[in-house]
């Protein structure tokens, strides 16, 4: 079962099924789980270019804190909400399944709930892109 702090790799149909997030899998940190409803924060490789984000963290690979293999950008400006799905543990990151409690707290501190944009993800499109995510 996927739980808070866990990191998964999936393709996300956002803003649509042909977008960059849908074509290539990215890592997502599970911020919250209630039953079969999930809330994720996106991570991506940090490419030393200008990002138009207000709230983010840049995290170096560190097996005691995270499963990242490259310097990563954690986007704290938006959340991705997915409802009524079963997510297989098969898509957990391999080197480490989660982020440390300290890193998770840093992420939560960086999120401004008033500015953070919640994005509802189409679960049917999500299922088409990710066979390990089942509709319920």
pLDDT in tens, 43-72: 999 987 767 899 999 999 999 999 999 999
DSSP lists the bridge partners of residue 6 as 98
Pull the structure tokens for residue 12. Answer: 């996300």
Domain map (residue ranges) of the chain: 7-135
What letter would DSSP give residue 122?
Answer: -
- pTM given for the model: 0.95
| Tens of pLDDT, residues 19-34 | 888 889 999 999 999 9
Asked whether the beta carbons of 61 and 67 are under 8 A apart, the reply is: no
The CA distance from 65 to 95, in Å, is 11
């Amino acid at each position: 079962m996927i739980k808070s702090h866990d990191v998964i790799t999936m393709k996300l149909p956002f803003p649509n099924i042909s977008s960059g997030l849908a074509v290539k899998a990215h890592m997502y940190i599970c911020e919250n789980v209630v039953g079969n409803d999930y809330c994720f924060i996106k991570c991506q490789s940090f490419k030393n270019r200008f990002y138009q984000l207000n709230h983010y963290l840049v995290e170096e690979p560190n097996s005691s804190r995270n499963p990242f293999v490259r310097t990563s950008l954690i986007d704290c400006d938006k959340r991705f909400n997915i409802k009524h799905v079963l997510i297989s543990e098969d898509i957990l990151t391999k080197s480490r399944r989660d982020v440390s409690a300290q890193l998770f707290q840093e992420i939560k501190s960086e999120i401004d709930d008033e500015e953070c944009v919640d994005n509802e993800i189409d679960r049917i499109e999500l299922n088409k892109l990710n066979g390990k995510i089942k509709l319920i």
